[in-house]
Structure 1
């Protein structure tokens, strides 16, 4: 049974979060602030704060969040100073993943404000990031409403998890997020990662959290010991690994887990994992709850 195409659930939550992804203006016009947003978790907040008219460009992870005519400056880890300066920005906002440092140094020397906002993976970190971006854009008033929406979404997810546990014979699923890059060891999402938070908010257990912190490789023995019920892949990985047999070719030990025996793997939008826990991360947690527990959520 494949878990890739779930039916919609959490209509109220999804709607509340979807509202935060409004259409954005193509360019900043007649505004003293000329902001480049380097990270989807930041761009989504700028949109939600109704401050997108201050944007002059975004990075490649944000391209689905803005008008197609909005200039793109490439990947947020590999920014070009020349490319950025050609847009005459007054400010660039990014996470601690933004770089390289040499580019940021050139921007600072040119008088461009370089702001690194909170990139943590908890709901509290998201709240701090909202506050920071609101201050940088001058939209503190809108931040209050956004924060209320975020807290309502988290509360709904928490209450839903409590309801799941009350179901007869309910068993929490063990969901293991694996990151696969050719030529590199397979990494899993351990404690303190955005994937870990999303899995928990979706009502499941991340077995890797008991073994490692952050994204790290683990031994086949440890992965076998975890006995995951579901394997979670990013959308980027799922573009090349489309079936459980494909996944087992990459990670043979998974053949001895409940996930493989039940053909149970799911996909998360990779942009929901970039730059810390974000608004889209919460939306994905709501969607994935239905993926992990399709019969319970009907």
Structure 2
């Protein structure tokens, strides 16, 4: 029953966020056409961009940043979206239906030009290169501003880094109060979950399994590492520099994880990944596999977006289920 109540609480909170962001007073929070406003200057991943006015034809390029825009009530300022990892967060699905989907993955530069986009919001660095759409320099020459989610590319991001990104987007679109309301609600939801965690002297050793057959592609010092720590675990590869790393199976086995967090996205299902772990001669020797202690975490929840409380709840219940009975 506790689990059902907490999920209802999270859904209610998310619905409250969406409602609050959508119903701010138009006089102070709506994107304004006529009023002269001071330019907003944002220093973002090596680019100093001056925004003279709020974008009116934005395109989001990755799911977690799409959900940030929708949670801020910006669907009417969007002319496109792309690249889902999983289903859109349920409380945001109605708003998502209002935004055209330009591509299953990244749209082409021609598709961006065709919708007359004036702003691109990328969640990962892969959004801005010649192989996907275009570099940020090229976009600027085309008159298209851009923002790259800093918390998704920097090493060792914290919750505050996500909040900084949310605040920056709120500033760019001249809706600062919505950003502050969203952050406040996220903080409240996170605190409710953290308060239920048991006090532990020895955190569970956790391996994050993204993918891999001959080797293991794992999270090292990205936000998943932060989430694991917040949920009372210890990422066994937290000592490896960078956000992601490819490690040997032997190294993964040697670190003896108690739990394996399986990242769910793409065409290979989480269940297929778990079956691989159970049948692999090396990885099947870990305590996590032998005790079948797996936690499935959707990539869309684990990314640096608005679903931190959802991801934390999944991990906390998976690590310490007895605390949530």
Q: TM-score range by the shorter chain?
A: 0.7 to 0.9
Structure with bigger RCO (C-alpha 8 Å, 6+ apart) = 1
The equivalent position to 1:165 in structure 2, one of 196, 199, 209, is 199
* Matched-pair contact (CA < 8 Å) for 1:81–1:106: no
What is the total number of aligned residue pairs between the two structures? 279
Correspondence list, 1:108-147, <5 A: 108-120=140-152, 121-147=157-183
* Matched-pair contact (CA < 8 Å) for 1:134–1:143: yes
Residue 139 of structure 2 aligns with which residue?
A: 107
Residue 156 of structure 1 aligns with which residue?
A: 192
The equivalent position to 1:39 in structure 2, one of 52, 62, 74, is 62
Q: Distance in 2 between matches of 1:43 and 1:281?
A: 15
The equivalent position to 2:120 in structure 1, one of 89, 92, 108, is 92
Aligned CA RMSD, in angstroms, stands at: 3.2
Change (3 A) 1:7 1:201: same
Please report how far the alpha carbon of residue 146 of structure 1 lies from its aligned counterpart in structure 2 after TM superposition. Answer: 1.1
Change (3 A) 1:258 1:144: same
Residue 285 of structure 1 aligns with which residue?
A: 312
TM-score, scaled relative to structure 1:
0.80
Residue 221 of structure 1 aligns with which residue?
A: 250
* Matched-pair contact (CA < 8 Å) for 1:79–1:99: no
* Matched-pair contact (CA < 8 Å) for 2:62–2:124: no
The structure with the greater share of residues assigned to strand is 2
Change (3 A) 1:125 1:9: farther
Q: Distance in 2 between matches of 1:46 and 1:217?
A: 32
Please report how far the alpha carbon of residue 201 of structure 1 lies from its aligned counterpart in structure 2 after TM superposition. Answer: 2.2
Change (3 A) 1:93 1:254: same
TM-score, scaled relative to structure 2:
0.74
Is 1:206–2:240 an aligned residue pair?
no
Q: Distance in 2 between matches of 1:242 and 1:112?
A: 41
Is 1:185–2:215 an aligned residue pair?
yes
Q: Distance in 1 between matches of 2:158 and 2:178?
A: 21
Please report how far the alpha carbon of residue 245 of structure 1 lies from its aligned counterpart in structure 2 after TM superposition. Answer: 4.2
Please report how far the alpha carbon of residue 196 of structure 1 lies from its aligned counterpart in structure 2 after TM superposition. Answer: 0.9
Unmatched tracts of structure 2, length 5 or more: 23-30, 34-54
Residue 75 of structure 2 aligns with which residue?
A: 52
The equivalent position to 2:265 in structure 1, one of 236, 240, 250, is 236
Please report how far the alpha carbon of residue 241 of structure 1 lies from its aligned counterpart in structure 2 after TM superposition. Answer: 4.1
